[in-house]
Amino acid sequence: MVQASAPGKCILFGEHAVVYGQPAVAVAIDQRMSVGLEPSDVWRIDGMRFDPSRHPHVEALKQRLWKDGPPLAIKIHGDIPPASGLGSSAALSVAASAALRCARGRQIKDDDWAEGWTAASPEDAYSGPWELKKGDFVEVGAKAVDVDECAILAHAVEATAQGGRASPLDSSVCAHGGCIVLSDKIENDLNWIYSRSLNGVSWEVHSVELPKSTEDVWLVIGNTGIHAPTSQQVAYVASLIEEHPDRIREIETIGIISRRGITALVEGNMENVGRAMSENHLMLRNLGISCPELESLISAAAPSSLGVKLTGAGGGGCMIALTRNPKETSEAIELAGGRTLISRIAAQGMTVDFEGESTLWNPFE
Ligand code: MEV
């Protein structure tokens, strides 16, 4: 059995605008998805026959990392509610990439990885199965797993599921954990990790060391229970801008608010972080991606919070409240009909949690 897990995420600033290259900030949350793999006679997910149409992310990863490999029984579990804007699909994709990569092992040739992220160009992850180059196969277990590789694979499969429009925000934060900032340029005050580009949009991906003061605040996540597919919400914003090109200014304003939020986060000024979150929400509401249920949870949480906003694609899903009183805020949201989760800001990224029989497929045998 090989098992890997990855955290969900909350977007603090910049959802939707990030699809157009504006800066955005996301943090990993305490809730996680875990993927376990075992050899099997036929492909199964959670005991049922694997149906690629029900699990498009797993299917896309299988095509990239496990083409022609032996069947596996896949076990998925976790406490991230699906389709709620908390990155459940990105966390699943990252954890599945890590588990598949660990189970496939990796070859080493001339002291270097013979295939995979370090040898392949990033575009390969987007285009499909990776070419195998014959080399010396070694069992390397969890060491075969590379965080950047899992992030890029998860982005590739998210993009496929979202009709080609997906920023690398969810995939990066679910892989790396902590706090991730995307921007259209390299930000000197932040730790730049890599560049990504897809369909003509480029992002510079950074990680942010959060100051101590972020440890005294919590995120209370309020779930409306309404499922709103990200692809539809992203397509709605795209059509809005196509019909009214001047509304791109609202997207740019979200970018300006995100920048203010990033400065406040780095300084550890949580009052200003909260203020920027609430302003960001007003812009998202104007764009038409909130809904009455989100608004009622947001109004309920506001009096006990530093800042409140919807998080993720909107149209349902979740809101978040940044608060020093998680119990009070959580009770207020529940009274208004939401289901709550509480998380600290910036949880640990992906991990390989267990590797018994770690190599389940040697493609060169
Ligand atoms: C979804 O969690 C965030 C969006 O900005 C889409 C994306 O970044 O790909 C709505």
In the chain, the amino acid numbered 320 is I
Q: Cβ(10) to ligand 1 under 6 A?
A: no
Query: Encoding tokens for residue 274?
Result: 């909260």
Question: Ligand 1, closest atom to CA 15?
Answer: 5
E strand or H helix that includes residue 261:
helix 248-267
Q: Can you give the pLDDT at residue 108?
A: 54
Looking at the domain that runs over 2-208, which CATH code has it been given? 3.30.230.10
Closest C-alpha to ligand 1, atom 8: 167
Cα(249)–Cα(287) distance, rounded to whole angstroms?
A: 11
Query: Encoding tokens for residue 94?
Result: 């990252």
Q: Cβ(265) to ligand 1 under 6 A?
A: no
For ligand 1, the distance from its centroid to the CA atom of residue 13, given in whole angstroms, is: 11
For ligand 1, the distance from its centroid to the CA atom of residue 16, given in whole angstroms, is: 5
Q: Cβ(7) to ligand 1 under 6 A?
A: no
Closest C-alpha to ligand 1, atom 9: 166
Query: Over the chain (365 residues), what is each successive 10-residue block's mean pLDDT?
Result: 96 94 95 97 96 92 88 97 91 95 70 44 57 48 78 89 82 96 92 88 92 92 92 93 97 97 95 98 97 98 98 96 98 98 95 83 71
For ligand 1, the distance from its centroid to the CA atom of residue 132, given in whole angstroms, is: 32
Angle formed at CA 50 by CA 65 and CA 177, multiple of 5 degrees: 50
Q: Can you give the pLDDT at residue 360?
A: 84
Q: Cβ(237) to ligand 1 under 6 A?
A: no
**Ligand 1 probe mutation, 9, 10, 11, most atoms within 8 A of CB:** 11
Is residue 211 helix, strand or coil?
A: coil
Domain ranges for the chain, please list them. Answer: 2-208, 213-343
Q: Whose CA is closest to 230, among 283, 160, 137, 281?
A: 160
In the chain, the amino acid numbered 298 is I
Q: Percentage of residues in the chain with pLDDT exceeding 90?
A: 68
Cα(155)–Cα(144) distance, rounded to whole angstroms?
A: 19
* Beta-bridge partner residues of 179: 27, 208
E strand or H helix that includes residue 123:
helix 123-127
Query: Encoding tokens for residue 168?
Result: 């690398």
Q: Can you give the pLDDT at residue 102?
A: 86
Would you tell me which CATH number, out of the four given (3.30.70.890, 3.30.70.1400, 3.40.50.300, 3.30.465.10), belongs to the domain 213-343? 3.30.70.890
Cα(224)–Cα(318) distance, rounded to whole angstroms?
A: 6
Q: Cβ(14) to ligand 1 under 6 A?
A: no
Q: Is 201 exposed, middle or buried (0-12, 13-18, 19+ CB in 10 A)?
A: middle
For ligand 1, the distance from its centroid to the CA atom of residue 165, given in whole angstroms, is: 9
For ligand 1, the distance from its centroid to the CA atom of residue 314, given in whole angstroms, is: 9
Letter string b/e over residues 238-271, b meaning 16 or more CB atoms within 10 A of that residue's CB: eebbeeeeebeebbebbbebbbbbbebbbebebe
Q: Whose CA is closest to 151, among 126, 127, 133?
A: 126
Chain segment 203-262, per-residue pLDDT in tens: 899 999 999 888 899 999 999 999 988 889 999 999 999 999 999 999 999 999 999 999
Q: Cβ(85) to ligand 1 under 6 A?
A: yes
Cα(9)–Cα(170) distance, rounded to whole angstroms?
A: 7
Q: Cβ(19) to ligand 1 under 6 A?
A: yes
At 283, phi and psi to the nearest 5?
A: -65, -40
| Distances from the Cα of 108 to the Cα of 121, 140, 143, 348, angstroms | 17, 10, 12, 29
| Distances from the Cα of 132 to the Cα of 42, 104, 107, 122, angstroms | 24, 12, 10, 15
